[in-house]
């Protein structure tokens, strides 16, 4: 799979993940570790709640979304999360659901503080096998730019993106 850099992205680009099935076992394991509420832990207990059955933690949905996003965009040097806005879980994820994530690039700019990186504004929409939206989020991520090699004026040698100054 192609490794991506910030330079490879443009506003309007869309990426769709491979599907991922949510198993009851993994759903309950996650809940035991990170969100031990009755509607995440026991099918029987969950039937007596507003959800009328076992559901995944929203944080589990967020973690699965992150996994699918990272696998799909396959950033060469990773993507550093700078913040998430408007995280929503409009529908519950249930055991057996098959999730996919669609990522849309909303903005791309150079980082002011790290010239070797860019800042990407994106929207992730996670859906189940029926096309129901189970999570939406807006986020910013710092992504490495592709480093280009260039010729030095002084000695015509190839250098990397950094410029070195000689002492006088």
CATH number of this structure's domain 6-146: 3.10.129.10
Q: What is the pLDDT of residue 148?
A: 72
Q: What is the pLDDT of residue 153?
A: 59
For the chain, give every domain's residue range.
6-146
Using CA atoms, how far apart are residues 111 and 78, in angstroms rounded to an integer? 15
Phi, psi of 27 (to 5 degrees): -60, -50
Q: What is the pLDDT of residue 163?
A: 45
- Whether residue 93 contacts residue 21, with contact meaning beta carbons closer than 8 Å, is answered with no
Q: What is the pLDDT of residue 140?
A: 98
Q: What is the pLDDT of residue 1?
A: 78
The residues of the chain scoring below 50 in pLDDT are 155, 162-168
Q: What is the pLDDT of residue 2?
A: 87
Q: What is the pLDDT of residue 149?
A: 64
| CA quadruple 62, 63, 64, 66: dihedral, nearest 10 | 90
Residue 76 structure tokens: 């060469």
Q: What is the pLDDT of residue 102?
A: 98
Over residues 97-145, the pLDDT tens digits come to 999 999 999 999 999 999 999 999 999 999 999 999 999 999 999 999 9
Residue 116 structure tokens: 């070797």
Could you tell me the maximum CA-CA distance found in the chain, to the nearest angstrom?
79
């Amino acid at each position: 799979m192609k490794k991506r850099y910030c330079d490879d992205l443009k506003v309007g680009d869309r990426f769709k993940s491979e599907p991922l099935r949510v198993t009851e076992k993994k759903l309950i394991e996650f809940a035991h570790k990170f969100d031990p509420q009755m509607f995440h832990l026991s099918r029987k207990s969950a039937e007596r709640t507003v959800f009328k059955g076992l559901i995944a933690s929203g944080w589990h949905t967020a973690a699965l979304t992150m996994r699918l996003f990272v696998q799909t965009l396959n950033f060469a040097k990773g993507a550093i999360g700078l913040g998430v806005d408007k995280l929503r879980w409009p529908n519950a994820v249930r055991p057996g659901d098959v999730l996919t994530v669609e990522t849309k690039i909303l903005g791309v700019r150079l980082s002011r503080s790290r010239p070797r990186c860019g800042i990407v504004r994106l929207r992730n929409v996670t859906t189940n096998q029926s096309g129901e939206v189970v999570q939406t989020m807006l986020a910013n991520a710092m992504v490495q730019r592709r480093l280009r090699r260039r010729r030095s004026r002084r000695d015509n040698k190839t250098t990397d993106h950094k410029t070195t100054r000689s002492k006088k």
